[in-house]
A and B are shown apart, each in its own frame.
Chain A
Amino acid sequence: MSARFLRVSALSKRYGALLALDGVSFEVGEGQCLALIGPNGAGKSSLLRILGGTARADSGKVEGIESFRLAYVPDRLEFPSSTSALDWLVFLARLKGAARRRPEADAVARRALESVGLGDVADKEASGLSRGMQQRLLFAQALLGEPDIVLMDEPASALDPIWAIDWKEKLASLRRSGTTVIFSTHRVGEASALADRVLLFHRGRLLRDEASGYWRAFGEGGAERRFLELVGGGAA
């Protein structure tokens, strides 16, 4: 069986006067983990939204994505009112085909909630949960339906230190199971520690596409300094 590839070619996206993505090209192999780093407005979220099928590119193409079972974790979500965390997950479990009938979907959703430590708030309104809990809930929905590519937009930005460690363990577990992962983060250290490759974006352009060892070689403070050098002090 040949390995699958996701190929992004000359992708561009504009929001009014803002050029969010400017001719971005790269490839990801099956089972690889990519970290996207860059200052705010660099184009990371736009790229993930296009890959996730929730936004359209103005030009360029994405090849191979249709051969993957995809899961997308947005950076944040306005959860619908009058919907408990459990109901929200049951809905998505059924939509993703992880379960056909309500009792089966209930069991799948409860397991997903337990896996991110939200079992005791299953019946609480999702919109009333803390930001960190909501981020865990968003991660839980990504695990439904056994995806083989997971796209995550700053998935750990609101997590407390305990759940940030748990998230890293879950990401490692996804990688062990052969799942392709692409995630964005502001933390260079986190990116180089968790990913195979780190893609640095600035003002919509892909500045560097390096193996994570490149960044690790600078050491903790050195990697941050190198990041600032490349993006010109961090101004977006």
Chain B
Amino acid sequence: MTRSLIVTGREVSRISRGKPQQVAFVFFAAIALGAFVLAGSGGHAGTGAIAAAGPGRLAASISNLLLVASSLAGILVAALSFSLDETGGMAALVRSCGLGRREYILGKFAGLAIAPAVLIGAATIVVLAIAERGGGFAFLVPLLALVLATAAVYAAWGSYFGTFSRSTLAAAGVSLAFWFATLFLYEALGWAIFPVLPYRAAKPALALFLAANPAEALRLGAIFLGDRGATLGPEFYYWQIFFRSPMGVAVGLAILAAHIVVPLSLTAAASRRRA
């Protein structure tokens, strides 16, 4: 455990010093700031997922952009980092120090997931400094929780693709394809199918739709959290009631955990196969 934390510390330190990461920090901070300020500008609710947590249409758009960016940053940073360590020999050298695969993977993943947290946390401090102009904690807290969960889930999948792929270029390619498919293609497919399904079939189909894709789980989770499930249809409202119950919260957290644990287990298996 202690040695996992040493790996975590190294990742956070390395990421926070890299030039590309510093540019990303500024990018995130700018988006967070924009989202926060615009959230306080009033207007009616938008259609985006985070509209559930914020009042403005423009704010919702910016919040969605933040979600898209955090998932992209999470998956790419993790895929590149794991791939470079595997192909460059650093992973092997670290293992020769007696560090187990799981310790190494967990430590590295935690660092890669914490780095966006540090970044967004820093952005939040800036935002809160001008809190009187913004939408306040009510808007920011769910948004930040969602962004951090997205970054963590996608970093877990990035860890797998980085370890599984034979080259860094392949790791980046597979990660981008996964990101695009889960964020955009999957949703388009879902919205094409749901209207034609009978109500009885739609309910279980929606549960599967929700649970199988991390992006949808997070998007719809935000909608349910904002009590807007009814606007999407009766089957959405049904699951909203469930997910807002104590049991639903537990199931929701379990789904989120599964989206992290499954790819990390696959990462450990891929690392063993590489040896």
Query: What residues of chain B lie closer than 8 Å to A71, measured between beta carbons?
Result: 96
| A87 partner residues in chain B, CB cutoff 8 A | 10, 13
* Stretch binding the partner chain, chosen from B35-43, B87-95, B241-249: B87-95
CB contacts (< 8 Å) of A72 on chain B: these are: 93, 96
Q: Once bound together, how far apart are the Cα atoms of A78 and B90, in whole Å?
A: 7
Size category of the A interface is 20 to 34
Provide the bound-state CA to CA distance between A92 and B94, in Å: 8
Q: Does A76 contact B (CB under 8 A)?
A: yes
Q: Does A156 have its Cβ within 8 Å of any Cβ on chain B?
A: no
Interface of A is mostly: loop
Q: Which residues of A (60-112) have their CB < 8 Å from a CB of B?
A: 70-72, 74, 76-83, 87, 91-92, 94-96
Q: A49-B92, A55-B275, A83-B14 are in contact. Are A78 and B87 (CB under 8 A)?
A: yes
Say yes or no: A92 contacts B14, CB within 8 Å. Answer: no
B85 at the A interface (CB under 8 A): yes
B201 CB within 8 Å of chain A: no
Q: Tell me, yes or no, whether B261 is within 8 Å of chain A by CB.
A: no
Q: Look across to chain B and name the residue whose beta carbon is closest to the beta carbon of A144.
A: B97
Determine whether B200 belongs to the interface, using a CB cutoff of 8 Å to chain A: no
Residue contact B275 to A54, C-beta cutoff 8 Å: yes
Indicate the member of B87, B99, B275 with the most A CB atoms within 10 Å: B275
Interface flag for B195 (CB, 8 Å):
no
* Contact assessment for B93 and A54 in the assembled complex, using a CB-CB cutoff below 8 Å: yes
Asked if A56 is at the interface of the complex by the 8 Å CB criterion, the answer is yes
For the A-B complex with A80-B14, A95-B99, A96-B98 known, give 4 more contacts whose Cβ atoms are closer than 8 Å: A54-B93, A83-B17, A92-B93, A95-B97
A contact set with B: CB distance below 8 Å = 49, 52-56, 70-72, 74, 76-83, 87, 91-92, 94-96, 141
